[in-house]
A and B are shown apart, each in its own frame.
Chain A
């Protein structure tokens, strides 16, 4: 019973947890810049304020795709937390990203289009790495199920440190953190695909980002096997790493991002796969 209770609770509370992570992140980032930063619950205040705004959309399909992006991302997260098949989880995540890309393309707004293009290129940058990591986990545990990794009695990290580094290198792309935040890049494309969403319809895209936090940190947690303490340690480490990186690096362009990801991150994951195969 307990096996099911925790994942179900996590799934139900995922937007809340993600929101808190986001709020905490804003504080930490501010402190790194010697600012005080907003209160912890600021994301939720923003959430409430957005709900109160005048309802405006470009067209219905665009708004609807944004909402479905949120729903399908939640579903992908649920499959991951319930210990489902990792390849399926990666594809479901791709599905949800595809919906936001389509939403981006569906308007005649230049920034929305550029953002959608860049999001599509981001997929090319991180998806192969994630699949290689999933296959490495399969080599180690003999199963593609996430539950096999959660229950593995030895931290996966010890056997696949390079894959973990590769994951750390692609997470900024997924979470749109500098130096790989080309898809969102406020100074260049003013938020990319998000730009044409507003008010209550922006809410879906906004909270989907919170879900992405939970998704990514669960991927990090996978590397700890059944060692919960190590898992929490890894997540805290990743949290500080991501924010320090975000604060200290300048944005690269999308070509540089793609080249870096496909040469460095991908090779690291691949070398790790080879090690796992041959030992």
Chain B
């Protein structure tokens, strides 16, 4: 097992290096094979991992990590000087000071720097499979980019570098290591967001940099308080072992701050929204399998200690607010990728909330949401890329002819949206589990539970309004186009779409099996207690929650099958007529309808800041 996990770290690093030097055709083969190998490896690790695996690395690696930290910060400092960004500079100075101080007080010998449990293996599977698909997709996307051939290689190289760092993030136990990998994901996203090197890209990349650096500062502060409070080594396992010690709340709150920033929660949502200036595979990567998923991961890791603390309360309240606020902000957007970005922020809020509630069922709900959101968002963002490249569309209001010119793409996007919204798809199951468990929460923590239910109910309705608005544009056509013929988008684009669609459909069909064999073991190990799953006739019980399988199965046939059939079905012996429209003869732009939410949005940032302050205050008192 140990060499397999190490190869999950090393293979992408080696591939990343090779991609820079190899010629194009060999590089293509390398990308495809290594994506497959990584997916297979992570699957093998997930199936065969039993219990929690701790392992250490030789002593000199500790020094190496310290040196790497310093080199990284020097690089950030150089960027700050070169780009004249005082915020990046300030954060780098803070980090530098913090790092030097922490290195001084850090106990000399670390052991067992890595910890791989089922949660890590779950994340491995998500990271490697989804990122692998994105890497293959990028082969063509980046080939069509207007830049030098070296920069194309560079792009793919950073992609694999990102995969390696993500694998390291989810398996590190030592917080100093975690800090380095956390910062390395920041670096990778900085390089990818700024890839196009125009003014806007550079500006947004710098925003992403300093915001995520705030998270780094928070981690350093957490390490400091762990040592200062005398818990011993600064590791996740040690932190959880001291779950009821006094003063534990402050490090927990600081780590939560780091998580919330990575998860682009308000007021730190700007970096994720700015990230879309980069080539589209970058957005797909950031939104689905890497970067933002660190947020629910950290909270899941900490959930046994976080549960029922004031910090968890503030995190739940904050994410409840963000869920509604992001959904409302999304309504007024027209750019397709911006709509997706806001809905990512909203759904991330839901995942973090579920993780912070920390009961068995909510943990399962969070995991279900993480996986299905990863697949759906990857599908949607990759399609956003296809829309740009093949159909030259960026604004959702221009898409009202897509149903005629690109029926396959519009079908795939429709399925992607539905899988985020409607039964029986996974994201729906997650949402459903959320509402029902929050109901249970309200019997215990009354007011909080009630308020959060209101947030989830309201935000959910706003999100459905948003998705309908976009889906409606995609499905429109006229009687002249009654018979559809799928467009050709090319092997790479169509192939990755089919793989993702297949994964989504398989996961929906296999949901009962996935719940018992996949999500529940992960949840029970994360929580450190067994989660009971019983099949009772046609109902599945997870803890106290009941999932009626029959209605879900029927819903499965009703909805996706309906939408797909609707595209293919042709009624024979029925006359086609022009729209009646009550005899109106006016010209009308069908996509001109949008919602103005400008009056509400200015308060969102302020409220977000207040929540972050409340988070620290809650930990102090």
Contacts and interface: CB of A to CB of B under 8 A. Distances in A.
A84 B465 CA distance: 25
Contacts of B475: 61, 102, 105-106
B432 A120 contact: no
Contacts of B565: 64
A17 B346 CA distance: 42
A75 to B, nearest CB: 6
B575 interface: yes
B422 interface: yes
Interface residues of A, number: 61
Contacts of A72: 558-559, 562
Interface stretch (B23-31, B439-447, B504-512, B513-521): B439-447
Given A108-B590, A109-B579, A277-B442, A95 B477 contact: no
Interface residues of B, number: 67
A274 B453 CA distance: 11
B19 to A, nearest CB: 43
A85 B590 contact: no
Nearest to B565: A64
A128 B323 CA distance: 14
Given A75-B558, A117-B593, A123-B461, A60 B468 contact: no
Interface stretch (B70-78, B89-97, B222-230, B546-554): B546-554
B588 A110 contact: yes
Nearest to A273: B450
Contact of B432 (A61, A91, A196): A91
Interface in B564-584: 565-567, 569-571, 573-582, 584
Interface in A63-86: 63-65, 68, 71-72, 75, 79, 84-85
A175 interface: no
A123 B558 CA distance: 20
B586 interface: yes
Contact of A95 (B443, B460, B559): B559
B136 interface: no
Contacts of A110: 581, 584, 586, 588, 590
B571 to A, nearest CB: 5
A72 B423 CA distance: 12
Nearest to A114: B593
A120 B442 contact: no
A209 interface: no
Given A58-B478, A72-B558, A94-B422, A132 B457 contact: yes
Given A124-B462, A128-B454, A274-B450, A102 B579 contact: no
Contacts of B476: 105-108
B151 interface: no
Contacts of B571: 55, 57, 60, 63-64
A243 B506 CA distance: 48
Given A75-B554, A195-B581, A98 B454 contact: no
B208 interface: no
Contact of B546 (A85, A102, A111): A85
Interface in A92-106: 92, 94-95, 98-99, 101-102, 104-106
Contacts of B421: 98
Most buried by B among A91, A111, A196: A91
A165 interface: no
Interface string B348-362: 000000000000000
B479 interface: yes
A106 B559 CA distance: 16
B442 to A, nearest CB: 6
B543 interface: no
B547 to A, nearest CB: 9
Contact of B555 (A55, A95, A277, A278): A95
A120 B469 contact: yes
Contacts of B530: none
B562 A68 contact: yes
Interface string A121-140: 10110011001100100110
Contacts of B56: none
A112 interface: yes
Nearest to B414: A102
Given A116-B472, A124-B465, 20 more contacts: A59-B481, A61-B567, A63-B571, A95-B422, A98-B422, A98-B464, A101-B472, A106-B403, A108-B579, A120-B464, A128-B458, A128-B460, A128-B461, A139-B442, A195-B582, A196-B579, A270-B454, A273-B453, A274-B447, A277-B446
18 contacts: A54-B575, A61-B477, A72-B562, A92-B551, A101-B468, A105-B475, A106-B477, A120-B464, A120-B465, A120-B469, A124-B464, A127-B461, A135-B453, A144-B436, A190-B582, A274-B447, A274-B450, A277-B449
The 6 closest A-B pairs by CB, nearest first: A105-B472, A109-B579, A131-B457, A61-B566, A128-B457, A55-B574
